[in-house]
Amino acid sequence: MKRNAILDIFTIANMRKVKMLTSYTANVARLTQEIADILLVGDSLGMVLYNMPSTHGVTLEMMINHTKAVSSVPGKAMIASDMPFGTFEISKEQAFENASKLIIAGANAVKIEGGKEIAQTIVFLVERGIPVIGHVGLMPQKVNIIGGYKKIHSIDFVLDSFKAIYEAGAFAIVLENISTEITNKIADQFPQSLTIGIGAGSNCKGNVAVFEDLLNLSTENIPPFSRVVLDVKQNAQSLIEEYFNRI
């Protein structure tokens, strides 16, 4: 089945909330590719799958391999892959080379964290045919600067970052862990933008969730704005124990 294109995503956004879910493996892709509009191969896989303390240890090779796994599953969902820390900051040319590798691996778009400092990089990528999803607010790759995974309340900082990458050509922008006031201002000032929220209130045109967080399968560091919809961990432990008691 043909993957969603950017125009399809905007059509969906005019009818209902866009659904984005993380997917790091083929098995999860099989479960989610007909539910989600966008499957995100996020660098959060470093923390969720590899028990890393942050996303900083995630390499481009890891992202390529997981993108190949997810994209191997046919389905309608667009596949977006994170550009990990250190793969796009040096130059626009470096960013294009590395983004191209993710596209070749099966991604339909790449996601990049940052604001004004990466605006020209986004322009460079979009002009060369690589769709870009932006990411502002809490940016996990920058936790060493902001002092941890805390809620972002700086209106000017987020608005300036959003404006820069929106005008640079990011077709969608993730808003993470920001105040509802900031989300509402973005909605008022940029009504045509496609905002995808996570811990950003309800006034976004889409939402993104970490699949393992929804099922309580992540590490101990589940963000406070995440919601467990089914405690698979507890249920699985009980069922496995019951299985071994029967054999």
> What's the one-letter identity of residue 116?
K
> What's the one-letter identity of residue 188?
D
The alpha carbon torsion through 144, 181, 19, 221 (nearest 10 deg) reads 40
Scan for tokens 């493996």, then name that residue: 25
CB-neighbour burial class of residue 47 (10 A; exposed 0-12, middle 13-18, buried 19+): buried
Strand partners, 175: 136, 197
Measure the CA–CA gap between 100 and 80, rounded to whole angstroms: 12
The answer to whether residue 212 is catalytic is no
Catalytic residue among 127, 176, 212, 242: 176
Q: Catalytic residue positions?
A: 176
